[in-house]
Amino acid sequence: MGLTSIRPIARRRLLQSVSSLSAAALLLRGRVACAGSALRDAAPDFSLEDLDGHIHALSSYRGKVVLLNFWASWCPPCRLEMPSIERLYQSKLKRPFIVLGINQGETSDNAFASLGLFKPMPTFPILLDRKGQVAKSYAVQGLPSSFLLSKDGKIFIRAEGARDFSSAAMLKLVDELLL
């Protein structure tokens, strides 16, 4: 079956998906997986406490594009990418988009103290995965690790290592997922 035998609407969506995946692959150099095998599976649900003691359940963000970022204050690449994540978050405040920063294995005091090192300081929720259970459910192997979830709660991209999340390519990718 050739591309021309696919209905025009389905063909356009297929081409948009391929375009998005190509942009994502260029954007997220290094160890990246895009919409393959385990990807496009439902993201494992979790409930974690934030720095203010409020509980956040991933399932409560269904209908929004979600960026999960696993990080720690002792991780230099995590500290490097955090300002770009905040810029992405700020650029999408009026859209159905959320960033959840998931701190790995640190106390709330350590995680909170490290936020002052970032310029700009993150304003998105910082969640505490004190025992690493959520990281384990996502098979996180190194920090930072990020997962971009579609509105239906499925993993669209998994990236390991620092990225520029405020790049034009990432902004475009998030905009496409928001459609």
CATH number for the region 3-178 comes to: 3.40.30.10
Confidence band for 9, pLDDT divided at 50, 70 and 90: low
pLDDT in tens, 125-143: 999 999 999 999 999 999 9
76-102 average pLDDT score: 97
- Here the contacts of 89-93 (C-beta below 8 Å, separation 24 or greater) are 89/122, 89/123, 89/124, 90/120, 90/123, 91/166, 91/171, 92/174, 92/178
pTM above 0.85, yes or no: no
Provide the pLDDT confidence category of residue 78 given band limits of 50, 70 and 90: very high
Residue ranges of domains in the chain: 3-178
